[in-house]
C-alpha cells in the first residue's frame, strides 16, 4: 500500500460530517492535504418533501455512514490503523443527524484507541479555506453564510473566533430556500435561485436591505423574504402567472438585496478593523454572483480575497478533518462522553 505521508511525523485525521443532509467522510494530512473527500448527498430524497426532513436524514445517515467512511479510507489508500485521530461535527445541526456521526466517531476512537476531536460545524466551514489557500493565515475576516447560519467573524487564530455580526432571524441560505419555494423553483433553493437570477432584472423589484440599529454588523433576511412573499401574493391576486420571466426578476432582485446586505457589512468591517485578508465560507459562498461581488469589493479595497471551491463550500467532511487537525494540535480533545449539541455556538 503506497502512502503519501510519513507515518511517524504526519498527523492523519478522519473527518466525519452528518449535521444535516450530507453524509460525509474525508481524510486529511496535517490539516492541509486532503487524501479523500466523500459526500453522499440526500438532496434527491428530501426534494420530494420540499426541504430536509430530520427523521429521514437521521435514518439515511445510519444507512450510509459506514459505506462513506470505507470509501474515504479506500480513496486515501489507508486503513483505520493509519489514523491519529477522528474528528466529527458535534454541532450545530439536527440532533438525530449529528448523533449518527458522533456515535460512529466515538466507536472508531474507542476501537482503535485514537484521539477523538469534536468540531464545531461553523468553524469547519471557515477552515475549508485552508485546503486550497495554504498562504491564508489568521487573523482574517470571514463571512460564513450557510443554510443555518450567517456570521461575520474575525478568525483570530486557527481555532479562535471573534463574532462581529450574526443574523437576527433567517440565515442567508434559508432565505434562498424559502423564496425558491415561494416562486415555485423548489428545493434546494440556492442554486436554483442563482440560476434563475442570471436572466432576471435585479432592479425589477426594490426589495429592502435591512439595517440593525444595535449592531450594524448584524444581518436580517426576514424582511426581504416577506417582501418577496408579498410581491408573489399580490401578483397572484392580480391574476398574473408566475412565469419564468417573473421568477427570474424576483430571483435577481432578491439576490441583489442579499448581496448588497452582505457586501455592505463586509466593507464596513474591512474599513473599521483594518482587514488585509477576507474569506468566504458556507453553502451560499458557492454563489458565483456573491463571490464575484465580494471579490470585486475586496480588490477595490486592496484586500486579499479567498473562497473555497464550491465542493468545499457546501457541507463536506474535508473541512471537518482540517478544523479537527487544528483542534488536535491545540490539544482540544474530546472524551467518549462527547454528545451532539444541536444549538452549539461558534
98's contact among ligand KG4, Zn ion, none, with CB below 5 to 8 A by partner kind, is none
Picked from Zn ion, ligand KG4, none, the partner binding residue 177 (CB below 5 to 8 A depending on kind) is ligand KG4
Does 176 interact with ligand KG4 (rule: CB under 6 A)?
Answer: yes
Q: Which of 147, 200, 308, 324 binds ligand KG4 (CB under 6 A)?
A: 147
Q: How far apart are CA 85 and CA 38, in angstroms?
A: 18
Please state the closest distance from residue 134 (CB atom) to ligand KG4, in A: 22
Q: Which residues of 161-188 are buried (b: 16+ CB within 10 A; e: fewer)?
A: beebbbbeebbbbbbbbbbbbbbebebb
| Residue 54 interacts with ligand KG4 (CB under 6 A): yes or no | no
283 near ligand KG4, rule: CB under 6 A: yes
- 277 interacts with ligand KG4 by CB under 6 A: no
Q: Say whether residue 286 binds ligand KG4 (CB under 6 A).
A: yes
Q: Which three cell numbers stand for residue 224?
A: 426581504
| Residue 189 interacting partner from ligand KG4, Zn ion, none (CB closer than 5 to 8 Å by kind) | ligand KG4
Query: Is residue 42 a contact residue for ligand KG4 (CB under 6 A)?
Result: no
Binding residues for ligand KG4 restricted to 193-212, rule: CB under 6 A: 194
Q: Does 191 bind ligand KG4 (CB under 6 A)?
A: yes
Q: State whether residue 137 is helix, strand or coil.
A: coil
Q: Which is nearer to Zn ion, 24 or 256 (CB)?
A: 24
Q: Which of 147/223 has CB closer to Zn ion?
A: 147
Nearer Cβ to Zn ion (104/315):
315
Q: Determine if 104 is a binding residue for Zn ion (CB under 5 A).
A: no
Should residue 146 be labelled a site residue for ligand KG4 when binding is judged by CB under 6 A?
yes
Residue 52 to residue 236: CA distance in whole angstroms: 27
Task: Specify whether the CB–CB gap between 223 and 208 falls below 8 A.
Answer: yes
In the block, cell 479537527 appears at: 324
What are phi and psi for residue 56, nearest 5 degrees? -65, -40
Interface with Zn ion includes 129 (CB under 5 A)? no
User: Among residue numbers 142 through 171, which ones bind Zn ion (CB under 5 A)?
Assistant: 146
Interface with Zn ion, residue 315, by CB under 5 A: yes
Q: Which window, 169-177, 223-231, 269-277, 322-330, contacts ligand KG4 (CB under 6 A)?
A: 169-177
**Distance (Å, rounded) from C-alpha 274 to C-alpha 287?**
26
The span from the CA of 72 to the CA of 170, in Å, is 34
12 phi and psi angles, rounded to 5 deg = -105, 125
Cα distance between residue 23 and residue 42, in whole Å: 8
From ligand KG4, Zn ion, none, which one binds at residue 58 (CB under 5 to 8 Å depending on kind)? none
Closest CB 278 distance from ligand KG4, rounded Å: 18
Which CB, 174 or 327, lies closer to ligand KG4? 174
Q: Does 190 bind ligand KG4 (CB under 6 A)?
A: yes
The three cell numbers of residue 299 are 480588490
Cβ neighbour number for residue 279 with a 10 Å cutoff: 26
223 binds ligand KG4, rule: CB under 6 A: no
Going by C-alpha positions, the residue among 261, 238, 255, 243 that lies closest to residue 203 is 255
Binding of ligand KG4 by 165 (CB under 6 A) = no
Nearest to 15 by CA among 98, 109, 95, 85: 85
Tell me if residue 90 falls in helix, strand or coil: strand
**Residues numbered 296-325 forming contacts with ligand KG4, rule: CB under 6 A:** 314-315
Shortest CA distance to 42 belongs to which of 62, 71, 28, 13?
A: 62
Contacting residues toward ligand KG4, per CB under 6 A: 20, 146-148, 173-174, 176-177, 188-191, 194, 282-284, 286-287, 314-315
Amino acid at each position: 500500500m503506497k502512502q503519501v505521508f510519513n507515518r511517524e511525523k504526519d498527523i492523519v485525521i478522519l473527518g466525519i460530517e452528518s449535521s444535516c443532509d450530507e453524509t460525509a467522510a474525508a481524510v486529511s494530512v496535517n490539516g492541509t492535504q486532503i487524501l479523500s473527500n466523500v459526500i453522499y448527498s440526500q438532496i434527491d430524497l428530501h426534494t420530494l418533501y420540499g426541504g430536509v426532513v430530520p427523521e429521514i436524514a437521521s435514518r439515511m445517515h445510519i444507512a450510509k455512514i459506514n459505506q462513506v467512511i470505507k470509501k474515504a479510507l479506500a480513496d486515501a489508500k489507508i486503513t483505520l490503523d493509519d489514523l491519529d485521530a477522528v474528528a466529527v461535527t458535534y454541532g450545530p445541526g439536527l440532533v438525530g443527524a449529528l448523533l449518527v456521526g458522533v456515535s460512529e466517531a466515538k466507536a472508531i476512537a474507542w476501537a482503535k484507541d485514537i484521539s477523538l476531536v469534536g468540531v464545531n460545524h461553523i468553524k469547519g466551514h471557515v477552515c475549508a479555506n485552508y485546503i486550497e489557500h495554504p498562504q491564508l493565515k489568521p487573523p482574517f475576516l470571514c463571512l460564513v453564510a450557510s443554510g443555518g447560519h450567517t456570521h461575520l467573524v474575525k478568525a483570530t487564530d486557527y481555532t479562535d473566533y471573534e463574532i462581529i455580526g450574526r443574523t437576527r432571524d433567517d440565515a442567508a441560505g434559508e432565505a434562498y430556500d424559502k423564496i425558491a419555494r415561494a416562486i415555485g423553483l423548489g428545493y434546494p433553493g440556492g442554486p436554483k435561485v442563482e440560476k434563475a437570477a442570471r436572466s432576471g432584472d435585479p432592479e425589477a423589484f426594490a426589495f429592502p436591505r435591512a439595517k440593525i440599529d444595535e449592531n450594524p454588523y448584524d444581518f436580517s433576511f426576514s424582511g426581504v423574504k416577506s417582501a418577496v412573499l408579498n410581491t408573489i401574493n399580490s401578483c397572484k391576486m392580480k391574476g398574473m402567472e408566475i412565469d419564468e420571466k417573473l421568477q427570474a426578476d424576483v430571483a435577481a432582485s432578491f439576490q441583489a438585496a442579499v448581496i448588497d446586505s452582505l457586501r455592505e457589512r463586509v466593507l464596513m468591517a474591512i474599513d473599521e478593523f483594518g482587514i488585509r485578508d477576507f474569506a468566504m465560507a458556507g453553502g451560499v459562498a458557492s454563489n458565483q454572483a456573491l463571490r464575484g461581488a465580494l471579490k470585486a469589493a475586496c480588490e477595490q479595497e486592496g484586500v486579499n480575497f479567498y473562497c473555497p471551491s464550491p465542493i468545499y463550500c457546501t457541507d463536506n467532511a474535508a473541512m471537518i478533518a482540517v478544523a479537527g487537525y487544528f483542534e488536535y494540535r491545540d490539544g482540544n480533545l474530546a472524551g467518549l462522553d462527547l454528545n451532539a449539541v444541536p444549538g452549539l455556538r461558534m
